[in-house]
Amino acid sequence: MDKFLITGGQPLQGTIRVSGAKNSALPCMAAAILTEDEVILENIPQVRDIATERKLLSSMGAEVGGAEVGLPEDHCTRIRCAVLSDPVAKYEIVKTMRASSLVLGPLVARAGLARVAMPGGCAIGGRPIDLHIKGLEKMGAEIVQAHGYLEARTEQIGGRLKGTHIVFDKITVTGTEDLLMAATLAEGETLMENCAREPEVVDLAALLIKMGAKIEGAGTSTIRVQGVDKLHGARHAIIPDRIEAGTFLVAGAITGGDLTVANCNPSHLGAVIAKIQEAGAQVDIISADAIRVQAGSLLRATDISTEEYPGFPTDMQAQFMALTTQADGVSQVTENIFENRFMHVQELVRMGADIKVEGRTATVRGAAHLTGAYVMCSDLRASASLVLAALVAEGQSVLDRVYHMDRGYERIEEKLCGVGARIERVSNAPDPAEE
Ligand code: EPZ
């Protein structure tokens, strides 16, 4: 189980590059199920969740290539689902990555049959997929839940999903993506309302349109899809990871540094940039793909409340909370999207932060003197929060279970060391079987 040894106190200086967006790559890889042709995806991040999805697709019969580390194509993935010999997403894979549910819609649309293990909960909440199921049933799929699996069929309606009118009870990112993919091959028109507007939804739609899908309105809350009989292959470059970019902006601010975040898309970061500016750092968009953050030592208390895009992203809540521990005054951090996304709080408290949680709101009394400690990573973004706190804490911190980090951040310790951080990865035992 890898650990990070981090010695705090270094302002970050220089330029740090962002990788492709994990949360766009995952649905785009699943979209390859919709065609027999090869789909080539570029700017794919080399993170665990991508490796998990490659394993999942291969287990269903897909040919998966590319991404050989060190080769020119090491950030490229080639997927060809000519034959789906086993349209099953097995529990041993799904339990390690709930986003595996993204294969449900494409499998039903392409093969008329899918067996997908129920994802189960995770550290940040129950993570149900009832809205995915409800939408597919409205498109005519017959879905049975048994033995921890969902089994979906369309034979009773002639083997092809039917276009319909879907209104999401709640805004769901992967729910929107799952049903958008299913609708591309459905018979007739599908109108989806109360959709997620995240850039990752827009990126998926861009790929699907390149594959021949007929989609209007991606990025708005209303998406209209005209089903087609077949989709063909395409080549597509994944958008930059806005959450990784936001994490690095906070890293520059919390360490009082001068950091340029390159290879990002500033237009995806409006709410995050505004809040880091409100906290007192100077943030400048210096080009179409670069943002510069400069901060002194004084940061101001700043409240955040997580909302669906374009509001302040839940995936940046933990990282921003670390920043507020250094701000002068009291900040309120409210988590509206997930029911248990404060796992980082107790670890930050062990480093000296003053945080009290009441319901969905954490009250952070800032200007805390953080000291290095042995802390435990619990989920992807909580891990990022602990890295940020350790970068500013006095002395050395040991972060255990960094495999959580590796799920969504590509070589983060190398990237941060490249701009002055002091981080060492210590590998002294195999990662546990993913719980
Ligand atoms: C996506 O998860 C992201 N994952 C998450 O990123 C992100 O935190 C989340 O969207 C919110 O932005 C991927 O894209 C792979 P939701 P998703 O469905 O789609 C409830 C990270 O750190 N809900 O938008 O699973 C749900 O419980 C990860 O990279 C239902 O009730 O999230 C939650 O309260 C973590 N029924 C809310 O909706 C459903 O059928 C939003 O969840 C689906 C969701």
Q: The CATH number of the domain where 76 resides is what?
A: 3.65.10.10
**Is 253 within 8 Å of 265 (Cβ atoms)?**
no
Distance of CA 163 to the CA centre of its chain: 28
Q: Which of 237, 270, 287 is the last residue of a domain?
A: 237
Is the domain of 282 the same as that of 390? yes
Is the domain of 76 the same as that of 195? yes
Take atom 42 of ligand 1 and give the residue whose Cα is closest. Answer: 172
Take atom 10 of ligand 1 and give the residue whose Cα is closest. Answer: 173
Is the domain of 50 the same as that of 164? yes
> In the predicted model, what is the mean pLDDT of residues 89-116?
93
Is the domain of 54 the same as that of 113? yes
Supply the mean pLDDT for the chain: 94
DSSP 268: G
Q: Which of 218, 237, 256 is the last residue of a domain?
A: 237
Q: Residue 222 belongs to what H/E stretch? A: strand 222-226
Residues within 6 Å of ligand 1 by CB: 23, 26, 99, 125-132, 170, 172-175, 314-315, 337-338, 380-381, 408
138-172: burial string, b at 16+ Cβ within 10 Å, e else: bbbbebeeeeebbbbbbeeeeebbbbbebebeebb
- The structure tokens listed for 336 are 């509206």
Is the domain of 383 the same as that of 336? yes
Distance of alpha carbon 219 from alpha carbon 195, whole angstroms: 8
**pLDDT digit string, tens, across residues 358-411:** 999 999 999 889 999 999 999 999 999 999 999 999 999 999 999 999 999 999
List Cα–Cα distances, 362 to 109, 315, 355, 366, in angstroms. Answer: 43, 16, 6, 12
Q: Is 122's pLDDT higher than 90?
A: no
Take atom 4 of ligand 1 and give the residue whose Cα is closest. Answer: 23
**Is 64 within 8 Å of 79 (Cβ atoms)?**
yes
Region of 11 please: left (phi>0), alpha (psi -120 to 50) or beta.
Answer: beta
- Show the domain range for 408: 3-19+240-434
> Counting atoms of ligand 1 from 1, which one is nearest the CA of 313?
12
Confidence of residue 125 (pLDDT cuts 50, 70, 90): confident
Is the domain of 11 the same as that of 97? no
Q: Is 429's pLDDT higher than 60?
A: no
Is the domain of 62 the same as that of 172? yes
Backbone angles phi, psi at 364, to 5 degrees: -110, 115
Is the domain of 203 the same as that of 323? no
Is the domain of 205 the same as that of 260? no
- Compute and round to an integer the Cα radius of gyration of the chain: 22
Is the domain of 122 the same as that of 245? no
- Quote the ligand 1 centre to 318 CA distance (angstroms): 16
Confidence of residue 240 (pLDDT cuts 50, 70, 90): very high
Q: Which of 237, 258, 282 is the last residue of a domain?
A: 237
Is the domain of 247 the same as that of 361? yes
CB atoms within 10 A of CB 430: 9
- Quote the ligand 1 centre to 204 CA distance (angstroms): 16
Is the domain of 88 the same as that of 120? yes
Stated length of the chain = 435
Q: In the chain, how many domains are there?
A: 2
Q: Which of 174, 221, 272, 383 to mutate to test the pocket of ligand 1 (most atoms within 8 A of CB)?
A: 174
